[in-house]
Amino acid sequence: MECSRTNAASSADGPPSLAAWEFAGLLLTYWCNARCALCYVSAGPTHSGYMSVAAALAVWRSLDQLAAACGKTMRIHLSGGEPFHDWVRLAAIVRAARDAGLTPLEKVETNAFWATDDGLTRSRLELLGALGMEKLVVSTDVFHQEFVPIERVRRCVEIGRAVLGPRRVVVRRWDFLRSPVDVRCLSSTPRDDAFRHALLRHKERLTGRAATELARLLPCLPAETFRGQSCAKEVLQSRHVHVDLYGNVFPGTCMGIVLGRAAGGSTVADAWHSLARSWQQHPVVAAVVAGGSHELLQRARPFGYRELRSGYAGKCHLCAHVRQFLCERGVWPEFIGPAECYLAGASPGDRP
């Protein structure tokens, strides 16, 4: 298996080519205790399933081999949904990867919902640290704080800094840890204001559940506004991918666009090579590379898609809305999925 220089770099004159993947997140589950309005994965408490240890190792190994063939080193992170949903399996995956000599685990991402007491938090973080986890990433913002008590987040961060050292704990977003916002006690108008403020402050991308639930909070423009905004950078030239528990491979920022599958005897490396050879035949990738979500809209019209008269809050909102339509009608199921990413009506999460 070789990753040719031609394929690993973008071409100045010809069509764009596929970058070597160097950063990969294993989405171990779509389950989450929370149901954040911003969640780009559309994770939630009604989802189930968790990647097996064997599948995680196979994907991890294949990612390692792909990066090595391109002269790179893979950086792996574990995420979800909420990877601490099945603590025993999470620990088993990290241990098995370490024992197999796979590339060290860069980070685990969590919302800290499980950090209910000091002893439990310390013991889990000590084990992950001992097994080679380089960093812990704790997600907290106004969206997560609707579902996860801030005391648990603080406990996880403080104990994490003590156990791992301050540099190995990353908080996404520090400003919301310093000044939490609890929207549970707000009526709808100030709640919307708090969400809008957060969206604008961090320039959040409106994909997944955010497209369904938050786009209404921002100014919307006609689809024509987004004409010609190619996504080659996001889907072909990004070096970051996610792989879910079914083996679906997604661009790092565009959940629900299936680049290929690492399942049924195919590896991540197979998916990369297949995409590098024939991304022009991928109906979604070809469209968004040619002309962004506006081009995807054009190609969805024959299936009955009609653009929103109220407009779209950005090119990703348009993309997500078109894909939602296509997914619901079973168009291009090999390339748009899985269903979990397109379930708009999941029930509310367990609020504290």
Query: Which residues contribute to the site for ligand SF4 (CB under 6 A)?
Result: 207, 231, 234-235, 253-254, 288, 292-293, 315-316, 319
- Check: CB of residue 206 under 8 Å from CB of residue 215: yes
For the CB of residue 266, give the shortest distance to ligand SF4 in the complex, in Å. Answer: 23
- What's the sign of the alpha-carbon dihedral 177, 216, 325, 238? negative
Cβ proximity to ligand SF4, 142 vs 257, nearer residue: 257
For the CB of residue 284, give the shortest distance to ligand SF4 in the complex, in Å. Answer: 7
Distance between CA atoms of 89 and 53, rounded to whole angstroms? 7
Cβ proximity to ligand SF4, 24 vs 254, nearer residue: 254
CA-based nearest residue to 238, from 206, 285, 280: 285
For the CB of residue 299, give the shortest distance to ligand SF4 in the complex, in Å. Answer: 13
Cβ proximity to ligand SF4, 21 vs 84, nearer residue: 21
- Token representation of residue 318: 């348009």
CA 298-299-305 angle, 5° bins:
75
For the CB of residue 130, give the shortest distance to ligand SF4 in the complex, in Å. Answer: 37
Cβ proximity to ligand SF4, 104 vs 338, nearer residue: 338
Cβ proximity to ligand SF4, 132 vs 283, nearer residue: 283
- Is the bond leading into 165 cis (omega within 30 degrees of zero)? no
For the CB of residue 71, give the shortest distance to ligand SF4 in the complex, in Å. Answer: 27
Distance between CA atoms of 330 and 256, rounded to whole angstroms? 13
Instruction: Report the residue count for the chain.
Output: 352
Q: Which residue has the tokens 């973008």?
A: 10
Distance between CA atoms of 1 and 65, rounded to whole angstroms? 8
What Cα–Cα distance (Å) separates residue 286 from each residue in 211, 257, 263?
Answer: 22, 12, 23
Burial class for 222, CB neighbours closer than 10 Å (0-12, 13-18, 19+) = middle
Cβ proximity to ligand SF4, 15 vs 165, nearer residue: 15
- Token representation of residue 42: 């559309």
Cβ proximity to ligand SF4, 223 vs 288, nearer residue: 288
Look up residue 346 and give its DSSP letter.
P
Distance between CA atoms of 226 and 14, rounded to whole angstroms? 23
Cβ proximity to ligand SF4, 105 vs 254, nearer residue: 254
For the CB of residue 267, give the shortest distance to ligand SF4 in the complex, in Å. Answer: 24
For the CB of residue 172, give the shortest distance to ligand SF4 in the complex, in Å. Answer: 20
For the CB of residue 304, give the shortest distance to ligand SF4 in the complex, in Å. Answer: 20
